[in-house]
Amino acid sequence: MRRFAATGGVRRVRAVLLLARFEFVELVRYPAPILMRCLTLPVYVVALTALWNGLHKRAGDGAGGGFPALAYFLFTQTILDSCLNRFGIGSLVLGFEPALSRPLSWWAQGVAQGFGRTAGQLLVVGGLVQVFLALTGAAYQPAMVLRWLLVLPLLALADALATEVMAGLYIRVGKSDSLRFVVTKSLLALGGGLYPLLGDGRGGIGWMRYLPFSDFVFQPAYFCLYGHAYGMATGLWLARVACWMALLALAAHASFRLAWRGLQVAGG
Partner 1 sequence: MTAIRADGLYKCYERRNWRGRVVESVEAVRGISFEVQPGEMAAFLGANGAGKSTTLRLLSGVLTPTRGEASICGHRSGTPEAAMRFGFVSGNRSLLWSHMTVRQSLEIIGAIYGLRAAERRERIAALARELDLEGFLGRRGGTLSLGERMRCEMAAAVLHRPAVLLADEPTLGLDIPTRWALRELLRGWTRASGITLLLTSHDAGDIESLCERTLLIAQGQLVFDGPTATLESQAGSLEESLARHMGERR
Q: Which residues would be at the binding site for partner 1 (CB under 8 A)?
A: 2, 4-7, 11, 14-15, 18-19, 22-23, 26, 87, 91, 94-95, 97-98, 100-104, 109, 263-267
Sign of CA dihedral 135, 117, 75, 182: positive
Helix (H, G, I), strand (E, B), or coil: what is residue 191? coil
In the complex with partner 1, which residue's Cβ is closer, 98 or 153? 98
Helix (H, G, I), strand (E, B), or coil: what is residue 166? helix
- Smallest gap, in angstroms, from Cβ of residue 215 to partner 1? 30
- Smallest gap, in angstroms, from Cβ of residue 141 to partner 1? 36
In the complex with partner 1, which residue's Cβ is closer, 231 or 262? 262
In the complex with partner 1, which residue's Cβ is closer, 91 or 141? 91
- Residues 168 and 255: beta-carbon distance below 8 Å: yes
- Smallest gap, in angstroms, from Cβ of residue 153 to partner 1? 21
In the complex with partner 1, which residue's Cβ is closer, 16 or 133? 16
In the complex with partner 1, which residue's Cβ is closer, 46 or 100? 100
- Smallest gap, in angstroms, from Cβ of residue 6 to partner 1? 4
In Å, the largest CA–CA distance within the chain is: 80
The identity of residue 111, as a single letter, is V
Burial-class residue 248 by CB neighbours within 10 Å (0-12, 13-18, 19+).
Answer: buried
- Smallest gap, in angstroms, from Cβ of residue 122 to partner 1? 18
Separation CA 157–CA 3 (nearest Å): 34
- In degrees, rounded to 5, the angle at the alpha carbon of residue 36 between the alpha carbons of residues 32 and 37 is 120
In the complex with partner 1, which residue's Cβ is closer, 94 or 198? 94
Separation CA 199–CA 201 (nearest Å): 6
- Smallest gap, in angstroms, from Cβ of residue 14 to partner 1? 5
